[in-house]
Amino acid sequence: MALGMYAATVPMMKTLLVALSNVLDKGAAFAEAKKIDEKVLTGDRLAPDMFPLSRQVQIATDMAKGGVARLAGVEIPAYEDTETSFAELKARIAKTLAFIESIPAAQIDGTEGKEIVLKMRAGDIAFTGERYLIGFVIPNLTFHCATAYNILRHNGVEIGKKDFLGAY
């Protein structure tokens, strides 16, 4: 049996986003235990030209909700991108999880050949649904979840690979 588009999308997204939420819990606990203003962590970045932790989480959730919405042919939920605290970032993840879980498998399965066009700064990019998922959404979601993890790990939060991978 072939892997359907829904099975390749929503379960993986849920795993990554739940793990990211759990990593944020550990970041919040670390900040509290070390008496560090949590905005020091949520505003930190690995390099001067990289986005901070808060933006990494925002982009990760944008990838998940945008990916599912485009494949399912529904409107992408709009978020304000104003989160700066761990609680706000976790709420954004929870809202994203609720959205992606609300889309039935039947709306995503069979979208392998669907045309998806992204309007980018450099111009429009056209994908098939399969290429969009495998070549754009999954790598971007994984990259931004990993970068958020790496920012916290770099700051001394005691997290490891199992925290990033989540339940499998």
For the cut 90, the answer to whether the pLDDT of residue 41 exceeds it is yes
Say yes or no to pLDDT of 2 above 90.
Answer: no
Q: Exposed (0-12), middle (13-18) or buried (19+): which is 49, by Cβ within 10 Å?
A: exposed
Structure confidence at residue 17 as a pLDDT band (50, 70, 90): very high
- Domain span at 25: 5-165
What pTM, to 2 d.p., does this model score? 0.95
Residue 51: CATH number of its domain = 1.20.120.450
pLDDT tens digits along 78-108: 999 999 999 999 999 999 999 999 999 999 9
68 to 33, 78, 100, 162: CA distances (angstroms): 37, 14, 6, 26
Mean pLDDT on 107-117:
96
Alpha helices in the chain (DSSP H): 5-33, 38-42, 53-72, 86-102, 105-108, 129-132, 138-154, 161-165
Q: Residue 115 is inside which H or E element, if any?
A: strand 115-120
**Count of domains for the chain:** 1
